[in-house]
Amino acid sequence: MSNNDRNIVLQAEGLCKSFSVVGEKLKVLEEIDLKLKKSSSLSIRGDSGCGKTTLLNLLARLEPADSGLLHWGAKIINAQDKPCSKEANWRAKYIGVVYQSYYLIPELTVLENVMMSVRLSKLSLTNYKERALQLLEEMGVGNKCQQIPTKLSGGERQRVAIARALVNNPVVILADEPTGNLDERTGGEVMDLLLNTCSKEGTSLILVTHNPNYARATEQSSFLKDGRLIYE
DSSP 149: G
Return d(Cα 208, Cα 184) in angstroms, integer.
Answer: 16
Domains and CATH numbers, the chain: 38-50+82-231 (3.40.50.300)
Q: Which of 68, 67, 62, 64 is nearest to 96 (CA)?
A: 62
- Per-residue pLDDT, averaged over 168-190, amounts to 96
Residues 40 and 102: their CA atoms lie apart, in Å, by: 24
* DSSP state letter for 50: S
CA distance 16 to 132: 37
Residue type, 118: V
Measured at the CA of 219, the angle between CA 214 and CA 225, to 5 degrees, comes to 65
Q: Which residues pair with 206 in a beta bridge?
A: 42, 174
Instruction: Tell me, rounded to whole angstroms, the distance of Cα 112 from its chain centroid.
Output: 20
Instruction: Provide the sign of the torsion angle of the four alpha carbons 132, 174, 141, 189, taken in this order.
Output: positive
DSSP class of residue 107?
A: T
Residue 69: is its pLDDT beyond 80? yes
Question: What is the pLDDT of the chain when averaged over all its residues?
Answer: 94
pLDDT of amino acid 1: 43
- For the stretch 5-30, pLDDT in tens is 779 999 999 999 999 888 888 999 99
pLDDT in tens, 24-66: 889 999 999 999 999 999 999 999 989 999 999 999 999 999 9
For residue 80, what pLDDT band results from cuts at 50, 70 and 90?
very high
Task: Give the pLDDT score at 24.
Answer: 87
pLDDT at 2: 47
Whether the per-residue pLDDT at 4 is higher than 60: the answer is: no
Which of 11, 159, 158 shows the shortest CA–CA distance to 76?
Answer: 11
**226: amino acid identity, one letter:** D
Q: How far is CA 6 from the centre of its chain?
A: 21
What is the tens place of the pLDDT at every residue in 97-127?
999 999 999 999 999 999 999 998 888 899 9
